[in-house]
Amino acid sequence: MRRILPFLALVALPALAQQPAQPPMVGAKGFKKVALHPLREAPAAAVSLNESRLSAEVSATVKEVAFDVGQVAPKGAVLIRLETRDYELGVARAQAALESSRARARLAEQQLNRARELAKQNFYSAEALTQKETESAVQQAQVKLDEAQLAQARRNLEKCTLRAPFQAIVRSRQAQVGELAAPGTPLLTLSEATRVEVAAQVPPRDVDSLKGAAEVRFAGSGGEFKVKLLRVSPAISREARTVDVRLAFSGQPAAPGADGRILWNDPVPHLPAELVSKRGAAFGVFVLEGATARFLPLPGAQEGRPVAAAMLADKTIVTEGRHGLADGQAVQIKK
């Protein structure tokens, strides 16, 4: 019996070695359950649609500055008053000249009418009548010239009062009371308070994802604000290699000049970086086809980075036990 037992053990060992290996156990999930939408961002700032430097149009002394730096002026409010005395006298002179030319025009018209009556009775020559017609036309032209000069004088008087072209925030003040303002002299710098946009510099590769984003936010020192895309410049900045993008605030705007970033989630579903595998020289992902694991290369995939993978929408992704898998290998699926 002692000799028979070792012999039986030697016979049993080959039988155990010939048993087939069990397929590896893997875990799997549908792509929609593992997909992510990476957060994108780009530098941005809130800018007024109008940044204006209010300048003098006439030469006059500054009489009053009604709003100072930091104040908000309603549209049409008086911002600066200039001394008007010289321009009031100009209006009076132009008015007097117009009244004089109108009186001469009336006299010339009366003389012309009398000359025409006499000409019908052959008491007035044709040449003299033509002269009267010419004198009347000259006087009428003078009236029009004096009317234009009066309108110009009144317009110059109006320019002595500078009003807010929009609801404006006074950003800086150059005007000083008593100082002579010459035409073109900057007096105030204004920012439009209500029409504020977001100016962002977006890398060209992210423009399409921004266009397709369901929601975009502007995050700055004043908090987060919802914004919507207005327009994308077709030009690329040569210096920064970015595209200028403008967005509008959906509600209350941020303060003009606020710096921040625009944030949005990429609308294209991405495969998480930890599920990207490498086989040979290719990066890809293992998916299930029934009880078989298949390796699908992903164009543009890089190690350690999520990869856009909209083509995996209907696939089941191997999430556990993938490290030792080979393409076409049979697997067992965890319940």
- pLDDT of 4 > 60? The answer is no
Quote the pTM value: 0.70
Alpha-carbon span 127 to 64, nearest angstrom: 61
Angle between helices 85-120 and 126-158 (to 10 degrees): 160
For residue 97, the number of C-alpha atoms closer than 13 Å in the C-beta half-sphere is: 17
Q: Tell me the one-letter amino acid at 324.
A: G
What pLDDT score does 317 carry? Answer: 92
Question: In this predicted model, what pLDDT tens digit does every residue of 129-177 receive, in sequence order?
Answer: 899 999 999 999 999 999 999 999 999 999 999 999 999 999 999 999 9
Give the pLDDT score at 220: 87
Other residues' Cβ atoms within 10 Å of the Cβ of residue 171: 17
